[in-house]
Structure 1
Amino acid sequence: MSKIESIDAKAVKTYARTEQTVSDVRSYRLARVIEQLKISNCPAILLYDPVNIRYATDTSNMQIWTVRNPSRYVMVFADGTVISWELHSCEHVWDGVDLDLELRSAVSWIFFSAGHEVESRCATWGAEIVNVMRDRVPGESRLAVDRLDPMGTSYLASKGITLLDGQAMMEMARLIKSPEEIVLMNESLRAAEKGIERMRREMRSGITEQELWANLHYENIKHGGEWIETRLLASGDRTNPWMHECSSRVLQKGDLLAFDTDMIGPNGYCSDISRTWTVDETKPTDEQRRLYSTAFEQVHFNMDLLRPGMSFSEYSEKSWKIPDLYLKNRYSCIAHGIGMVDEYPSISHQVDWTTAGYDGVFRSGMTLCVESYIGAEGGTQGVKLEQQVVLTDDGCVPLTSTEFEMDWL
């Protein structure tokens, strides 16, 4: 039995972080990437996605900016060596990272950096990539890539490089979390819980959705977090349908207030928790209570159902059946993986299986978010709930102690 399979719910939340924890996480994650390269018989992977770079190397540099402006990139080889092409004067982001590493200067060929010289800059970039392949893995032509613009893809293909789906490899690498990763994820979750507690203290009629949402950002940054991927907080009639981002709407007494944290917290790990309250902590109406009880039942039925070895298709087929009244406005999935961001897999509802479903198998060590949105088609309010869990041999263990409204049930 592995360590992750033997920890209980209390231990999951109380393991302490040490410097050795961070070192172990770095070694584990790089080993997972190398394992995927070997499974795919691929000598190297070129990473542009900043989340994948963070996972493989534990380095971070202006993640949101580099998502939009692909200007730093890393190549990981199956023998464990790493080449980093880093942004100008940013070599310091690699200080203290113990890797078999070569640092080079990045060649940026996006229009912002290159203007009308994009094509020639791309050729300079591509020639270096090809030369690295010839020097480091002579005779090999297979290269995995997670993200690459069309011009770069075309250049490498023209030089005989066969490109493989590196994003799939990275998703599979990130699938199983080590016990030490759970420690770091828990640090992110504790920061998210601070933000949720602060939102609840500050929630009152007369303030705007945006004012309330700012409290989560405050606690995230205060505790060393990084960014929040969405602005999913809605009140009153904006809770139905779901997916309204927060606005200048003023909270009214008795409104339902629902949110989804989607928070990239300390250590780069995501905290993805949804809860629904009433503004000014008013007693819920009968309709609000029905909506909440239904969403609560869906989340907890589907949590109890999850077991290692179960296929995604079986889980979808056996999952809680949404009443017809709420089916049209269902959430986009039953559950999804979670790690540094939303990750593989995304489990479709049975009604969506033929168009959106894909199969696989749940395994111990996966971290997941179990989802529910309950709101009637044409209705004026809805409830969003989501619980983040780790899957062990004995089933789901919640990773957050953020409470549900048990007295509403």
Structure 2
Amino acid sequence: MAGDRLSEAKSTVEQGGKEALLRDVRASRLARVQAQLRAHDVPAILLYDPVNIRYATDTSNMQVWAGRNPARYIMVFADGRIIAWEFHSSEHVWDGLNLDVELRHALSWTFFNAGHEAERRAQVWAAEIIDVFRKHAAGDQRLAVDRLDPFGSACLEKQGITLLDGQALMETARLIKSPGELVLIGESLRTAETGIARMRRELRPGITENELWAHLHFENIRHGGEWIETRLLASGDRTNPWMHECSSRVLMDGDLLAFDTDMVGPHGYCSDISRTWLVGDGRPSDEQRALYEHAYAQVHYNMELLRPGMTFREFSEKAWKIPDPFVRNRYCCLAHGIGMVDEYPSIAHQVDWDSSGYDGLFEAGMTVCVESYIGAEGGKQGVKLEQQVVLTEQGCVSLTACGFETDWL
């Protein structure tokens, strides 16, 4: 059970220390990638997504930049062998890792790096990829890839390689969290909670949204975190509809202030917490309290409902029914997976099922974010709440102690 695994992992930290925990996490993550390759009878996967590379190898190198500029990549074989093409003079990021890895120099063929020579360089790149792959693939021509630009895909396919959906394999590998991962997720969440507490202390009329948001960034970086994926903090009439990113707007007494952390913290794990507060020392209005009560009810009803063994469709069908005035501005999903970043699955509202829903099964050991946004169409304010949980055999267990405004209820 997930709760037992968390206790086990904490015990491992106490007995063997952080390095032992990290070794266990690295080994279990790589093993899950290998297991997915074997389950789909695929000899290897080529990874460019920095999050997937981090999951498989625990290496991190300019993650946000590398997400836009495909300048480092790895190939993981089903037997665990890793070939890594590292960015210029960055081999040191692999120091201290107990991995069976062969390091090579990456060749980038983006227009930024290659200009009008991009297609020719892609051919050189493909020749090396194919050579490495065929040496170890025992005649198999199928290679899973998580992401690849058109020149690269065309070059590989021209040489007879069949490309498969590697992102699906990686998302499935990342689905169930090991005991050690739950501990590392907890460390990221404690960092987020420290940042949220700092924001709460600094919350006052006269501060700008940008100034307030900077306090979360400060604590994340101070504690060894990596980046924040969005700028979702809004106040006053910018809280409706949701998805306004923070600005130079000055907070005013009586405003609602809502945010969504989307924070990739220490060890590369995401902390995804949404809360809504009142600016100033007053009491929320009746309208603000009513909005909050609905959002709080949605999150907690759905947390109580969610169980391992439940299908995604069943959860969507049984989820808290959003009152009609708030349906139009509903959040984009009821819940979603969470790990190093937002992950599979994304659970559609029943009203959206035909257009964007897909089925699957909730399992113990999954970490999930349960979502709510309540704001009337044409309204002037709204409430955003989100809780990060782990699924156990008994149901949802909250992973964060960050409180709600229960005195508003």
Q: TM-score range by the shorter chain?
A: over 0.9
- Segments of structure 2 that go 5 or more residues without pairing to the other structure are none
CA distance in structure 2 between the aligned counterparts of 1:179 and 1:31, rounded to whole angstroms? 14
Match of residue 232 from structure 1? 232
Asked whether the 8 Å contact 1:272–1:386 carries over to 2, the reply is yes
How many residues were matched structurally?
Answer: 407
Partner amino acid, structure 2, of 1:96:
G
d(CA) in 2 for partners of 1:14, 1:225:
23
Q: Report the Cα distance in structure 2 between the residues aligned to 1:273 and 1:376, rounded to whole angstroms.
A: 22
Which secondary structure state, in structure 2, belongs to the residue aligned with residue 204 of structure 1? coil
The correspondence of residues 360-399 of structure 1 with structure 2, limited to 5 A, is: 360-399=360-399
Partner Cα separation in structure 1 for residue 281 and residue 67 of structure 2: 39
Whether the 8 Å CA contact 1:72–1:106 is kept in 2: the answer is yes
Structure 1 segment 171-320 matched on structure 2, within 5 A: 171-320=171-320
Shift in alpha-carbon separation, 1:9–1:136, aligned structure 2, 3 A? closer
Partner of 2:54: 54
What is the rounded CA distance, in whole Å, between the counterparts of 1:79 and 1:138 in structure 2?
12
CA distance in 2, matches of 1:14, 1:192: 24
Per-residue displacement from partner, 1:318-365 (whole Å, max 9, x unpaired)? Answer: 000000010000000000000000000000000100111000000000
Query: 1:143 aligned to 2:143?
Result: yes
Secondary structure at 2:45's aligned position in 1?
strand
When residues 10 and 395 of structure 1 are mapped into structure 2, their CA distance, relative to the original with a 3 A threshold, is: farther
Secondary structure of the corresponding residue to residue 340 of structure 1: coil
8 Å Cα contact 2:9-2:183 kept in structure 1:
no
SS at match of 2:385: strand
Structure 2 SS opposite 1:144: strand
Instruction: Please give the secondary structure, in 2, of the residue aligned with 1:79.
Output: coil
Equivalent residues of 2:192, 2:263 under 8 A apart: yes
Q: Which amino acid aligns with 1:54?
A: R
Equivalent residues in 2 for 1:67-216, closer than 5 Å: 67-216=67-216
Percent identity of paired positions between Structure 1 and Structure 2: 70
Are the structure 2 counterparts of residues 176 and 10 from structure 1 closer, same or farther at C-alpha, using a change threshold of 3 Å? closer
Distance between the aligned counterparts of 2:378 and 2:361, measured in 1? 36
Letter in 1 for 2:94: W
Q: Could you list the per-position Cα deviations for residues 178-218 of structure 1 after superposition, in whole angstroms to 9, with x for gaps in the alignment?
A: 11100000000000000000000001101100000000000
Q: Deviations over 1:85-143 (max 9, x none)?
A: 00111000000011111000001101111111111110110000111122122311000
- 1:325 partnered with 2:325: yes
Aligned-partner residue type, residue 219 of structure 1: E
SS state of the match for residue 391, structure 2?
strand
Q: Displacement of 1:65 after TM fit?
A: 0.6
C-alpha distance in 2 between matches for 1:9 and 1:26: 19
Q: Can you list the C-alpha shifts for 1:235-277, whole angstroms capped at 9, x where unaligned?
A: 0000000000000000000100000000000000000000000
Cα distance per residue 1:50-78 (max 9 Å; x no partner): 00000000000000111110010000000
Matches of 1:192 and 1:184 in 2, distance apart? 13
Judging changes above 3 Å, is the alpha-carbon distance between structure 1 residues 296 and 13 closer, same or farther for their aligned structure 2 residues? farther
How many Å separate the matches in 2 of 1:233 and 1:380? 16
Change (3 A) 1:382 1:13: farther
Separation in 1, partners of 2:116, 2:282: 60
Contact 1:133 1:140 in 2 (8 A): no
Instruction: Give the 3 Å change call, closer, same or farther, for CA 180–8 of structure 1 in structure 2.
Output: closer
Query: Partners in 2 of 1:301 and 1:382 — Cα distance?
Result: 19
Counterparts of 2:398 and 2:13 in 1: how far apart (Å)?
A: 15
| Structure 2 residue corresponding to 1:6, chosen from 1, 4, 26 | 4
Cα displacement (A) at 1:373: 0.2
Distance change in 2, residues 1:215/1:13 (3 Å): farther
CA contact (8 A) 2:12 2:21 kept: no
C-alpha separation between the residues in 2 aligned to 1:141 and 1:336?
Answer: 34
Q: Look up the SS of the partner of 2:130 in the other structure.
A: helix
Aligned partners of 1:13 and 1:186 also within 8 Å: no
Give 1:281 shift. Answer: 3.7
Q: Distance in 2 between matches of 1:133 and 1:405?
A: 55
Structure 1 residues 402 and 293: alpha-carbon distance in aligned structure 2, compared to 1, 3 A threshold: same
Say which SS state the counterpart of residue 18 (structure 1) adopts. helix
The answer on whether the counterparts of 1:213 and 1:246 sit within 8 Å (CA) in structure 2 is: yes
Question: Which stretch of structure 1 is more off in the superposition, 142-151 or 7-16?
Answer: 7-16
Q: Distance in 1 between matches of 2:12 and 2:126?
A: 48
What SS does the corresponding residue of 1:370 show, helix, strand or coil?
strand
The normalised TM-score by structure 2 is 0.97
Counterpart in 2 of 1:26?
26
Residues 1:388 and 1:10: Cα distance change in structure 2 (over 3 Å)? farther
Aligned-partner Cα distance in 2 for 1:298–1:14: 36
Whether 2:352 is the aligned partner of 1:348: answer: no
Unpaired runs of at least 5, structure 1: none
1:7 CA drift (Å): 5.6
Q: Secondary structure at the match of 1:60?
A: coil
Instruction: Quote the Cα distance in structure 2 between the aligned partners of 1:81 and 1:226.
Output: 27
Structure 1 length-normalised TM: 0.97
Instruction: Give the secondary structure class of the aligned counterpart of 1:396.
Output: strand
